[in-house]
Amino acid sequence: MKRVAILFLSLTIALFVSDPAAAARLTIGIGSIPNTPDPHRDSTANALPAYAQMFEKLVGVDDAGKIVGLLAESWRALSDTLWEFKLRRNVTFHNGEPFTAEAVKFSIERVLSPATKSPWGGRIAAVDKVEPVDAHTVRITTKGPFAPLLQGLTVVDILPPRYFAEKGEKEFVSAPVGTGPFRFKSWVKQDHMAFTANPTYWRGRPVLDEVVFRSIPEDSTRVAGVETGELDVALLIPPEQVARLKAKGVDVRSVNQGQGMVINFRATVEPLKLKKVRQALNYAVDKEGILKNLLLGYGRILDGQVVGPDGFGYNPALKPYPYDPKRAKQLLAEAGYPNGFTVKFHGSIGRYTKDKEIEEAVIGQLAEVGVTAHLEILEAGVFIQSFLGGTIGPLWIWAWQYLPAMDADLPLNFFQTRAIGRHFANPEYDALVARERAAMNPEERQKVLQEMAAFLRDDPPCIFLVQTAGIYAVQPRVQGFAWKPTYLMDLTRVRVAR
């Protein structure tokens, strides 16, 4: 099987490695690539590193979790509902179109438009209007006080309005342009996404000539790729392969990332409507066993909340649900399901480290308390569209991102009744979200976020599993590569020695 995997990888990426002129090309193997070149359509973590090579936001996050300017040089709140941004000058899109305040207006309004169906819309839903003051100044008005505006803007990529209008959405997707360090070269669904260096990038031309993200869902194939040297970097390495790769001279590293892996519930359908049923399923799953036996200690158990201690809004008073099958059976009986029930479970392969093995382990543990979960693996594109369309589940594996802003508001707003996917509905929780988003004082906002986490610990919308670890392998010939807790990587100064 391994030999077949190596042969397959050799054939599929030969075009990217056989040319001697490829000395400045970096090839990265990852579980999946963006489902579309349109950055407003795909919010999955694996899509973020590829999009970040081509597109940029107004603001980003530094290594200390602090909001920093990207296409915005500075900003200030003129009132609780009005923000002003000064934009970076002398920035152009890859087609030569100048970056101006009109691009900010177009991009934010497109993400908010119901027609776009952008999964990022919820993060800036409080924006009322965007008004250019001049070419390099833009003001954003919110419908009410909206404290996490900057955090929400860390996911809104800025697109060129004139080019988009000329080409239309369909042609834009076939030849997208942004302001980022690399230009679009090619995209083949579920295969690869490639970029070339942007010689006019405002921070200076990247050292690399090309970057290629290869979609390789199978763990064994990614490992084979980096082992044979056909990949320069492989992300999401299975923990059990770490020692072997190190013995072969491959540099293997790990970073805890800003996302909490869970088994989500569609808590709007029977019997998952019942709080006791959802609590029972949390008691039924052995989180420590999953961390120890499947992840070999990489990552950390979530403390009954979807963010880790590195996230703003983490509640240090909360603890994980203990593994207690007896308590799970008792709660199921009290809820009217003494003999359990049957439910569909949508899973993935290669989307997260050891995802299929974790899915199978959870199914086995649920069976011990009488719950029969039928696993159905969904292809990456179908998986995200099913989530957005509200048809996934009633159980499905997921990793809630509090990256790249490392802020709990980012995932917690998805549990509102009106959120995309509509998988949890509780008016009391909705009120908490509204209070948190209106809290302009950071200390007050943090307290409300912690209150929200405690609410969801008691009335769980999911089975809390682990904060994920990103294990990645780097060939010795690659210099300057680092995968960050934000899931992003700065490739502008990366070098590859051939």
Q: What is the pLDDT of residue 123?
A: 87
For the cut 50, the answer to whether the pLDDT of residue 280 exceeds it is yes
For the cut 80, the answer to whether the pLDDT of residue 14 exceeds it is no
Q: What is the pLDDT of residue 59?
A: 98
Q: What is the pLDDT of residue 374?
A: 98
**Preceding amide of 394 cis, omega within 30:** yes
For the cut 70, the answer to whether the pLDDT of residue 5 exceeds it is no
Which residues neighbour 453 within 8 Å (Cβ) at sequence distance 6 or greater?
304, 305, 306, 307, 313, 314, 315, 318, 408, 412
- pLDDT tens per residue, range 94-132: 999 999 999 999 999 999 999 998 989 888 989 999 999
Instruction: Grade residue 2 by pLDDT with cuts at 50, 70 and 90.
Output: very low
Instruction: Grade residue 389 by pLDDT with cuts at 50, 70 and 90.
Output: confident
* Two tokens, residue 445: 């906002």
Q: What is the pLDDT of residue 380?
A: 79
* Side chain identity, residue 202: W
Mean pLDDT calculated for residue range 369-382: 93
Please say whether the beta carbons of 56 and 70 come within 8 A: yes
For the cut 80, the answer to whether the pLDDT of residue 8 exceeds it is no
Nearest to 334 by CA among 260, 274, 265: 274
Mean pLDDT calculated for residue range 440-452: 96
**pLDDT above 90: percentage of residues in the chain:** 86
For the cut 70, the answer to whether the pLDDT of residue 357 exceeds it is yes
Mean pLDDT calculated for residue range 366-393: 92
Please say whether the beta carbons of 384 and 42 come within 8 A: yes
Instruction: Grade residue 10 by pLDDT with cuts at 50, 70 and 90.
Output: very low
For the cut 70, the answer to whether the pLDDT of residue 465 exceeds it is yes
Query: Which residue has better confidence, 72 or 3?
Result: 72
Mean pLDDT calculated for residue range 281-286: 98
For the cut 50, the answer to whether the pLDDT of residue 19 exceeds it is no
* Side chain identity, residue 363: I
Q: How far apart are CA 122 and CA 420, in angstroms?
A: 8
Mean pLDDT calculated for residue range 242-270: 96
Q: What is the pLDDT of residue 6?
A: 43
For the cut 50, the answer to whether the pLDDT of residue 11 exceeds it is no
Q: What is the pLDDT of residue 430?
A: 97
Q: How far apart are CA 240 and CA 360, in angstroms?
A: 17
Picking from 238-247, 380-389, 435-444, which range would have the lowest pLDDT averaged per residue?
Answer: 380-389
Q: What is the pLDDT of residue 285?
A: 98
Q: What is the pLDDT of residue 82?
A: 98
Q: What is the pLDDT of residue 406?
A: 94
Q: What is the pLDDT of residue 418?
A: 86
Q: What is the mean pLDDT of the chain?
A: 93
Mean pLDDT calculated for residue range 426-433: 97
Which residues neighbour 474 within 8 Å (Cβ) at sequence distance 6 or greater?
232, 233, 250, 251, 252, 253, 481
Nearest to 214 by CA among 196, 230, 191, 236: 191
Nearest to 340 by CA among 423, 277, 260: 277
Secondary structure (3-state) at 395: strand
Instruction: Grade residue 445 by pLDDT with cuts at 50, 70 and 90.
Output: very high
For the cut 60, the answer to whether the pLDDT of residue 459 exceeds it is yes
Nearest to 278 by CA among 148, 394, 190: 394
Q: What is the pLDDT of residue 421?
A: 80
Q: If phi over 0 gives left and psi between -120 and 50 gives alpha, with beta otherwise, what is residue 414? A: alpha
Instruction: Grade residue 422 by pLDDT with cuts at 50, 70 and 90.
Output: confident
